[in-house]
Amino acid sequence: MLALIATALPARHSALATPKTAPRVRVGLVFDVGGRGDKSFNDSAFEGLLRAERELGAEISFLEPTGAEDREAALRLFAARHMDLVIGVGFIFSSDVDLVAQAYPSVSFACVDYAPSGDHLIPQNVAGLDFREEEGAFLVGGVAGKLTKTGHVGFVGGMTIPLIRKFEAGYEAGVKATCDKCVVHSAYAGASPDAFKDPAKGKLLAASQIAQGADVIFHASGSTGHGVFEAAREGHIYAIGVDSDQHDEMPGVVATSMIKRVDVAVFDAIKDAAEHKFVGGCVIGLGIGDQGVDYVHEGEHAALLTVAVKAAVEVLRQDVLSGRTQVPSR
């Protein structure tokens, strides 16, 4: 129900001057669980949207739904306004995007972390924006394997779904690549979308792993990760952020972050729509070679990483790029 949508902001008009003869691309974006301010996945998507406003003169609108009914309603609201592109941020939108796209075949849709079910055909007006998260997690796993002094590291995931399992699998493989005797402790915050916005649970899980000897913990859990950072600070260990550079969340604790360029995927989808180059009916996958995933390894935010650590991880990167290493995704 539209009345249940938590935040509905009117279209923002770009301050960037555009020729009067140039039609402005109109974009509606619906945020994932946790919404703006998670300093991670959603904020990265928002940056891509704002970049499109700045650089393309896009007319942007965005909504923060409170639940499943609101997700579909928000998508329908934008589609009914005949937006040029409607974007759902997060795998949880996959079925909703497909449903609404079929009802509005003249509107283009994009879904970040799109996950079509079974043999389901992707609608021709839907583009899936996916990532090989396991490759980015592989790199930070290599970091963890080099940083640990106890031989125990941790992983805290949000919801128990295949997408987050990709992070776990890649991370464990990276740890083993630089520390074959290391033990990886893994835990998940829950089986519902709320698992991505439960900092208290994240702190509890991380504290348990610290008690088992973990001295580096990587999270892939949205705002639940804030609790992981708190536990890491109190336990005097290192944490690894996800999706965006999360150094400023806990300076001196966050050693690095796995970067997932949701901002680039969102911007590129909008640019394609603006230039009438949008292609649907497919899934676009981005990994290390496409600069879709990486980790923070330069500048002040990587100050805790030694030259030796970065050199070891660079070997892992080259192994992936050359095809010598196939990073597991589950």
Structure token pair of residue 287:
């990994």
173/302 same-domain check? yes
16 domain-assigned = yes
- Same domain for 160 and 102, yes or no, is no
The verdict on residue 243 lying in a domain is yes
The per-residue pLDDT for 36 is 83
Q: Which two tokens stand for residue 303?
A: 């100050």
- Is residue 220 domain-shared with residue 93, that is, in the same domain? no
Instruction: For residues 104 and 151, state if they share a domain.
Output: no
Q: Which residue ranges in the chain fall short of pLDDT 70?
A: 1-23, 68, 118
Question: Helix or strand or coil: residue 47?
Answer: helix
Looking at residue 37, its pLDDT comes to: 81
Residue 291 falls inside a structural domain? no
Predicted pLDDT of residue 120: 75
pLDDT the model gives residue 14: 36
- Asked if residue 28 lies in contact with residue 12, where contact means CB atoms within 8 angstroms, the answer is no
What's the longest Cα–Cα distance across the chain?
A: 64
pLDDT at 22: 53
Determine, yes or no, domain membership for 327: no
Q: Is residue 232 part of a domain?
A: yes
Give the model's pLDDT for residue 237.
98
For residue range 1-12, what is the model confidence (pLDDT) as tens digits? 343 444 444 444
> Taking Cα atoms as reference points, which of 27, 25, 24 lies closest to residue 60?
27
Residue (of 190, 191, 188, 229) closest to 210 by Cα position: 229
> Residue 176: which CATH number?
3.40.50.2300
Give Cβ neighbours of residue 291 (< 8 Å, ≥ 6 apart). Answer: 261, 264
* 25/137 same-domain check: no
Q: Which domain holds residue 267?
A: 2-131+262-286
Say yes or no: 256 and 266 in one domain.
Answer: no
Tell me: do 203 and 183 sit in the same domain: yes
Taking only the tens place, the pLDDT of each residue in 11-37 is 444 333 334 445 689 999 999 877 788
State the pLDDT at residue 125: 97
Task: State whether 38 and 77 are in the same domain.
Answer: yes
Alpha-carbon gap, residue 320 to 318, rounded angstroms: 5
pLDDT for 5 equals 44
Beta strands in the chain (DSSP E): 7-12, 26-30, 59-64, 85-89, 108-112, 126-131, 152-159, 183-190, 216-220, 238-243, 254-260, 282-286, 293-295
For residue 39, the model assigns a pLDDT of 77
> Both 96 and 161 in a single domain?
no
Q: How many domains is the chain partitioned into structurally?
A: 2
Query: Does one domain contain both 203 and 313?
Result: yes
Which of 155, 236, 256, 248 is CA-nearest to residue 202? 155
Same domain, 236 and 165: yes
pLDDT of residue 23: 65
